[in-house]
Structure 1
Amino acid sequence: MPTPDRTSLDAIVLAARDLLESEGLAGLSMQAVASRVGVRAPSLYKRVANREELIQLVAEASLLELGERLDAASSLEELADEFRAFGHERPAAFQLILTPGAGTPTARPEFGASASQGILRLAGEVAGEHRALEAARTLTAWAAGFVSMELNQGFNLGGDVDEAWRFGLASIVRAIGTA
């Protein structure tokens, strides 16, 4: 009789996502994930080929989560606020999917395309279907840069960062609507 499986791919990815947030990408190892799910490291290889595939799976799961949150938004402002909240709640995942760095495994393109559906829909409503992609890219680039600066304590000149977010977001959305 074969030995029963003691973990699932979902449990492995969830443990890896938690480790990514607590230990960073450098601390995301097969051994650490195995310890979290209560198995020996060799057991993980029944489900995941190697660390690179594990990182890819974490990136894909993070994009799925982000996409679900963005799909629920009813306005570009609400969508951008969800994007920012995701960055603050899951900073390591945010970095992994938006600025992974050279040599870091990334999600397959279809996961990025799926996560982009909400912003493309809302951007099309504001800018028109013919400019939806350009509008979505403009808002994403601004929001990703803003959130990255926040996460890296890049706003050092004083002032209210939340007010700057609201000002910038309103300005971008207004500009997208008049382009």
Structure 2
Amino acid sequence: MTEAGAALVDEVGFDQLSMGLLAERLGVKTPSLYKHVANQADLAHLIAVLAMNELADAIRDATQGRAGRDALVAGAEAMRTFVREHPGRYAAGNAAQITGQEDPLLPASGRVMASWTAMLHGYHLDLDQEIHALRMLRSTLHGFGILELDGSFQVDTSVDDSFTWVVDFIDHGLRSLPEAKARPLQSASGTDSD
């Protein structure tokens, strides 16, 4: 049912999700859906978990075996493609809030961040730089993806060229940072080791 809901929101938009519409698409009566989910919010949350896992997989698969600019380009393209091909589930993933330590959205979101962190590994950033870089990547690529999806780029210049320019600019900025020194090893207790 989660897959069907995800396909539905990709088609009609996340804000149009309803139990009635999903039931109609599945050819069942609406009350039968409540055997699988508690309510529409529960369904939306399950779609968000699915979306974050799929996005993590897409970025991971695209960047596997790559480093530096190659990983950046591949990861950025994977995210852009995911947003274009799955706009409803991407919106669900961004709208969802983690409800606690047992929420499956927590590890799913962590997988997305781990994919981006691995992608940035080739830039040898220190921990503070890495956090800033992750926020910058998410903000820039999310913004570009949403603006493109909404048809907001009206100037008669190739959007693909603009995307390449943005990614090249990010790469140049990351390479211009002073290379980080090796990070201290962490012991099992989380304190710096000698």
Letter of the 1:137 counterpart = R
Unaligned 5+ runs, structure 1: 1-11
Q: Which residue of 2 aligns with 1:3?
A: none
For residue 132 of structure 1, report the CA deviation from its aligned partner: 2.2
Taking CA–CA contacts closer than 8 Å with sequence separation of 6 or more, which of the two structures ends up with the larger relative contact order?
2
Distance (whole Å) between structure 2 residues aligned to residue 39 and residue 93 of structure 1: 22
Q: Give the Å deviation of 1:33.
A: 1.9
Listed as ranges, the gaps of 5+ residues in structure 2 are 99-104, 178-194
TM-score scaled by structure 1?
Answer: 0.83
Q: Which structure 1 residue ranges, 4+ long, deviate > 6 Å from structure 2? A: none
What TM-score results when the alignment is normalised by the length of structure 2?
A: 0.77
- 15, 23, 27: which is aligned to 2:12? 23
Q: 2:85 and 2:14 mapped to 1: Cα distance?
A: 16
Number of residues of Structure 1 aligned to a counterpart in Structure 2: 163
Q: Is the 8 A contact 1:19 1:28 kept in 2?
A: yes
C-alpha RMSD of the superposition: 1.7
Q: CA deviation at 1:93?
A: 2.1
Q: Which residue is equivalent to 1:148? A: 146
The answer on 1:133 being equivalent to 2:135 is no
Report if aligned partners of 1:77, 1:169 keep a CA contact under 8 Å in 2: yes
1:96-135 alignment runs, 5 A limit: 96-98=92-94, 100=95, 105-106=96-97, 108-130=105-127, 131-135=129-133
CA contact (8 A) 2:18 2:40 kept: yes
Instruction: Determine the structure 1 residue equivalent to 2:46.
Output: 57
Q: Give the Å deviation of 1:165.
A: 0.6
1:127–1:177 CA distance, 2 compared to 1 (3 A): farther
| 1:61-119 Cα distance to aligned partner (Å, 9 max, x none) | 01111110111113011000000011111122223323x3xxxx445333211221111
Question: Percent identity of the aligned residues?
Answer: 25
Measured in 2, the distance between the counterparts of 1:52 and 1:140 equals 25
- Residue type of the alignment partner of 1:159: T
The equivalent residue for 1:89 is 85
